[in-house]
Chains A and B, each alone.
Chain A
Amino acid sequence: MKKLQKADYIKMYSFMLKIRRFEERAAQLYGMGKIGGFCHLYIGQEAVVVGILMTIDKNDSVVTTYRDHGHMIARGLDPKRIMAELTGREDGYSAGKGGSMHMFSKENNFYGGHGIVGAQVPIGTGIAFTHKYNGEKNICRTYIGDGAMNNGQVFEAFNLAALWKLPVLYIIENNKYGMGTSVDRAAAGLDLYKRGEAFGIPGEKVDGMNVFSVIEAADKAGKYVREGNGPYIIEVQTYRYRGHSMSDPAKYRTKEELDNYKQTDPIEIVKAEILKKKIATNDEIEKINKDTLEEIKNAAEFATNSPFPKDSELYTDVYL
């Protein structure tokens, strides 16, 4: 496994915390009516994307689902501009025309943010196809929710990726519920990581509440894919603390279940490790906490003060 440096621990903690604080602030702005439409929060799942982040190359591509705010933050994108997209303003990553579910940053190889369940899977496979076609050594990380794992195009993409040995790493973020339907009520066979077996795609199940487990699996899988062996599937077992979207009270699960997961909070795990290893003191951690809170507060301020898109923008970007 990749040897983690002291700075890596701080990086992980900071990114996970930044995602958490961002999402809480987004919830607040939603509550104030500053963010509209659908808004899917990533709280609880931070270790997944941050764990993967620790193993990637800058020129790798990534494509994900509509639960994408945390993915963008982990990609190193500016929380101000992410939040400004959520508030539908001209400084947002999609100039206010995409919203929470449809955000992109081509220069950072971030290909969305897709609102249609499963659609990002063939798309990510096609981006991986391009890496191979161009003779690049990069891979495309394609995130999939557990809900999409019953969608036909996912299997079509698996077949193509294996058939053409494409450099794509599929990461199933299994947060136990596709909207309000638990995985066991939707999927025949709960081992989602085994669903590539028929295509010869290796798969592995990982504890997604623990960032160190994610790193270990992602490191191994990433190497396999990068070496030209074709696709690989990691199923990351995670949990979202909040409902499916802002308007979901999550009545389909018990409070005990939620509290149980909170006992293994991914951010607390990293924090404990940092303190145990004496990488930082409590005071230093407090400083990160304060700075993060401040940064996100500023992002919210920026996002609520950025102007709405100009009326003339209605007709731009339909064609290039």
Chain B
Amino acid sequence: MSTEILMPALSPTMTEGNLSKWLIKKGDTVKAGDLIAEIETDKATMEVEAVDEGVVLDLLFKEGEANIPVNKAIAIIGDPNEKVEVKKEAPIEKVIEEKKIEKNIETKIDNKKANIIDTPSPKIEEDKNLSSEEITMRQALRDTMAEEMRKDNKVFILGEEVAEYQGAYKVTQGLLQEFGKERVLDTPISEHGFTGLAVGAAFKGLRPILEFMTFNFSMQAIDQIINSAAKTLYMSGGQINCPIVFRGPNGAAAQVAAQHSQDFSSWYSQVPGLKVIAPSTPYNAKGLLRSAISDPNPVIFLENEILYGLKGPVNNDINFSIPIGKANIEKEGKDLTIVTYSIMLQKSKEAALRLKEEYNLDTEIIDLQTLRPLDTETILNSVKKTNRLITVEESWPFGSVGSEIANIVQRDAFDYLDSPVIKVNSADVPMPYALSLEKLYLPQIDDIINAAKKVSYIK
């Protein structure tokens, strides 16, 4: 049997090459691994090795011949006793037909594939198991972690100051005492390292809860979050999942200035493979954190430092959860819709009270709870009812969660809109330190009221 040696493509961009030198001659016996020729590519001259064995029956080009197309036969090797027919044209690589795939260019996640439970978000006002006692968000988060750690010893927590110090914001208070240092681990200030370590542990079957002292420090580790945690299930063809929760305070605290006050909600929401959650009350913090810990995928759980002290009733059932991917209609209304999440829910609620009082506007408020996958259905249904939409969030304006919502609404509910969508965001600058400027930077109730007036054409 004879084999053709083809002009190889020695770089992704090479289409033809020059045969600078033959290292074999007719009649030579070549073995796999022997050098056979030097080829000049668009980048350099490279040596080519034989991969098949046999006697060189023919060299089809002379040394120095130029512009030989890739995949054209340049030599024939084989059994000298066999008759050889040289094909005139080398086989041409079949180009993959460009099929018309209906590409899902919008962010749409198949609920079944994303392990999303298709039930609506429970409503606090209808919850029969509501505690009579009000607890803080901090305690709600702590209790949920403890409950899940009791259920499953594969759940453990690591981060800076989570153990002996009891948590930089006291969210992990008492966990070390209950679960011991094997399951509550203080890490060095080494985000890149311990995030990668936690991702590896999740690949191997543990269920880490990783606390970032604040999400600002997750920037040190973002490569491991995106390139390792979010992508490995896909890159492994579905073999290796990463059940991990990255949690901690996100967004502005109080006068801690530019490097410690940043909202990363849209950064992480952009990434396929991640789920992103932003709770706003002790009630939903509990239900959502339970879902996050139970989820087989990496979850970004964006808390808010200012909200840690917020008190409210909770559902203390150790199996109570709020499905990921479901928004909550915090308040029904008919005149306009506010879509918001995290700390801006409180400001939106206050703004709604004033809008009713001062302008007789009946506002519907949607608390997203989950940012990715986004509950577009609830948003669209609301817009179809109220015909006006503003989004309120703490992040910078460029490419924010609100930007994506505005896009979806103009595409899918264009005819229902009575005015353009208006986004309320933080100022497009780094966070200043001065108290007066910090206030200017953050969205305020007046900003929400002004946006509501604008979409309602009230001067």
Are A318 and B114 in contact, with the CB atoms below 8 A?
yes
Q: B41 contacts the other chain (Cβ, under 8 Å)?
A: yes
C-alpha gap A102/B192 in the complex (Å): 21
Q: A126 contacts the other chain (Cβ, under 8 Å)?
A: yes
- Interface hits, A15-70 → B, CB 8 Å: 20-21, 24-25, 27-28, 30-34, 36-37, 61, 63
Are A122 and B194 in contact, with the CB atoms below 8 A?
yes
C-alpha gap A119/B231 in the complex (Å): 13
Q: Which residues of B contact A37 (CB under 8 A)?
A: 12
Shortest Cβ distance from residue B207 to the other chain A in the assembled complex, whole angstroms: 11
Are B227 and A119 in contact, with the CB atoms below 8 A?
yes
Interface window among A151-159, A186-194, A203-211, A221-229: A151-159
Q: A178 contacts the other chain (Cβ, under 8 Å)?
A: no
C-alpha gap A98/B7 in the complex (Å): 27
Q: Which residues of B contact A115 (CB under 8 A)?
A: 227
Closest A-chain residue to B50, C-beta based? Answer: A24
Q: Which residues of B contact A21 (CB under 8 A)?
A: 32-33, 51
Closest A-chain residue to B227, C-beta based? Answer: A116
Given contacts A32-B8, A160-B188, A247-B12, contact A318 B109 (CB under 8 A): yes
C-alpha gap A93/B224 in the complex (Å): 22
C-alpha gap A153/B89 in the complex (Å): 52
Given contacts A28-B51, A320-B241, contact A119 B224 (CB under 8 A): yes
- Interface hits, A153-169 → B, CB 8 Å: 153, 155-157, 159-160, 163-164
Are A315 and B187 in contact, with the CB atoms below 8 A?
no
Are B9 and A31 in contact, with the CB atoms below 8 A?
yes
Given contacts A122-B193, A130-B205, A315-B110, contact A249 B45 (CB under 8 A): yes
Q: Which residues of A contact B437 (CB under 8 A)?
A: none
Q: A316 contacts the other chain (Cβ, under 8 Å)?
A: yes
C-alpha gap A37/B235 in the complex (Å): 15
Q: Which residues of B contact A246 (CB under 8 A)?
A: 10-11
Are B192 and A122 in contact, with the CB atoms below 8 A?
yes
C-alpha gap A82/B440 in the complex (Å): 57
- Interface hits, B73-96 → A, CB 8 Å: 93, 96
Are A119 and B223 in contact, with the CB atoms below 8 A?
yes
Scoring B residues 171 to 209 as 1 if CB is less than 8 Å from chain A, else 0, what string do you get?
000000000001001011010111111111111111000
C-alpha gap A152/B206 in the complex (Å): 25
Chain A residues within 8 Å of chain B by Cβ, number: 70
Q: B128 contacts the other chain (Cβ, under 8 Å)?
A: no
Are B237 and A247 in contact, with the CB atoms below 8 A?
no
Scoring A residues 64 to 107 as 1 if CB is less than 8 Å from chain B, else 0, what string do you get?
00000000000000000000000000001111111000111110
Closest B-chain residue to A152, C-beta based? Answer: B192
Are B199 and A293 in contact, with the CB atoms below 8 A?
no
Q: Which residues of A contact B12 (CB under 8 A)?
A: 36-37, 247
C-alpha gap A25/B192 in the complex (Å): 38
Q: Which residues of A contact B46 (CB under 8 A)?
A: 243, 249
Are B182 and A319 in contact, with the CB atoms below 8 A?
no
Shortest Cβ distance from residue A152 to the other chain B in the assembled complex, whole angstroms: 6
Q: Which residues of A contact B7 (CB under 8 A)?
A: 31
C-alpha gap A122/B188 in the complex (Å): 14
C-alpha gap A305/B128 in the complex (Å): 60
Q: B131 contacts the other chain (Cβ, under 8 Å)?
A: no
Are B45 and A156 in contact, with the CB atoms below 8 A?
no
Closest A-chain residue to B238, C-beta based? Answer: A317
Q: Which residues of A contact B182 (CB under 8 A)?
A: 133
Closest B-chain residue to A61, C-beta based? Answer: B204
Shortest Cβ distance from residue A66 to the other chain B in the assembled complex, whole angstroms: 12
Q: B151 contacts the other chain (Cβ, under 8 Å)?
A: no
Q: Which residues of A contact B9 (CB under 8 A)?
A: 30-33
Q: A111 contacts the other chain (Cβ, under 8 Å)?
A: yes
Q: How many A-B contacts at CB < 8 Å in the complex?
A: 215
Q: Which residues of A contact B228 (CB under 8 A)?
A: 114, 116, 119, 123
C-alpha gap A129/B101 in the complex (Å): 43
Are A111 and B193 in contact, with the CB atoms below 8 A?
no
Closest B-chain residue to A290, C-beta based? Answer: B53
Are B296 and A320 in contact, with the CB atoms below 8 A?
yes
Are B43 and A249 in contact, with the CB atoms below 8 A?
yes
Scoring B residues 41 to 62 as 1 if CB is less than 8 Å from chain A, else 0, what string do you get?
1011110111111000000000
Contact of A318 among B41, B49, B71, B234 (CB under 8 A): B234
Are A126 and B237 in contact, with the CB atoms below 8 A?
no
Are B32 and A24 in contact, with the CB atoms below 8 A?
yes
Are B237 and A92 in contact, with the CB atoms below 8 A?
yes
C-alpha gap A121/B110 in the complex (Å): 34
Specify which of A31, A61, A96, A133 lies most central, judged by the most chain B CB atoms within 10 Å of its CB: A31
Q: A230 contacts the other chain (Cβ, under 8 Å)?
A: no
Q: Which residues of B contact A7 (CB under 8 A)?
A: none
Q: Which residues of A contact B43 (CB under 8 A)?
A: 247, 249
Closest B-chain residue to A265, C-beta based? Answer: B33
Q: B236 contacts the other chain (Cβ, under 8 Å)?
A: yes
- Interface hits, A140-160 → B, CB 8 Å: 152-153, 155-157, 159-160
Q: A201 contacts the other chain (Cβ, under 8 Å)?
A: no
Given contacts A20-B33, A125-B200, contact A33 B110 (CB under 8 A): no
C-alpha gap A121/B53 in the complex (Å): 40
Q: Which residues of B contact A96 (CB under 8 A)?
A: 237
Q: A112 contacts the other chain (Cβ, under 8 Å)?
A: yes
Q: Which residues of A contact B227 (CB under 8 A)?
A: 115-116, 119
C-alpha gap A243/B43 in the complex (Å): 13
Q: A251 contacts the other chain (Cβ, under 8 Å)?
A: yes
Shortest Cβ distance from residue A95 to the other chain B in the assembled complex, whole angstroms: 3
C-alpha gap A316/B43 in the complex (Å): 38
Given contacts A33-B71, A104-B239, A127-B203, contact A314 B196 (CB under 8 A): no
Q: Which residues of A contact B156 (CB under 8 A)?
A: 133
Shortest Cβ distance from residue A70 to the other chain B in the assembled complex, whole angstroms: 15
Specify which of A25, A96, A133, A316 lies most central, judged by the most chain B CB atoms within 10 Å of its CB: A133
Q: Which residues of A contact B6 (CB under 8 A)?
A: 31-32
Are A156 and B190 in contact, with the CB atoms below 8 A?
yes
Closest A-chain residue to B112, C-beta based? Answer: A319
Q: A308 contacts the other chain (Cβ, under 8 Å)?
A: yes
Contact of A160 among B11, B104, B197 (CB under 8 A): B197
What residues of chain A have their CB less than 8 Å away from a CB belonging to chain B?
20-21, 24-25, 27-28, 30-34, 36-37, 61, 63, 92-98, 102-106, 111-112, 114-116, 119, 121-131, 133, 152-153, 155-157, 159-160, 163-164, 243, 246-247, 249, 251, 293, 297, 308, 311, 314-320
8 closest cross-chain pairs (CB), A and B: A126-B200, A31-B8, A122-B196, A156-B193, A95-B237, A249-B44, A247-B11, A123-B200
14 A-B pairs with C-beta separation under 8 A: A31-B70, A33-B9, A94-B236, A119-B224, A119-B228, A122-B196, A123-B197, A127-B201, A160-B190, A249-B41, A315-B104, A318-B109, A319-B233, A319-B275
13 new A-B contacts, CB < 8 A, other than A25-B51, A122-B192, are A24-B49, A24-B51, A27-B49, A31-B10, A32-B8, A102-B235, A116-B223, A122-B197, A124-B200, A133-B182, A293-B32, A318-B113, A320-B115
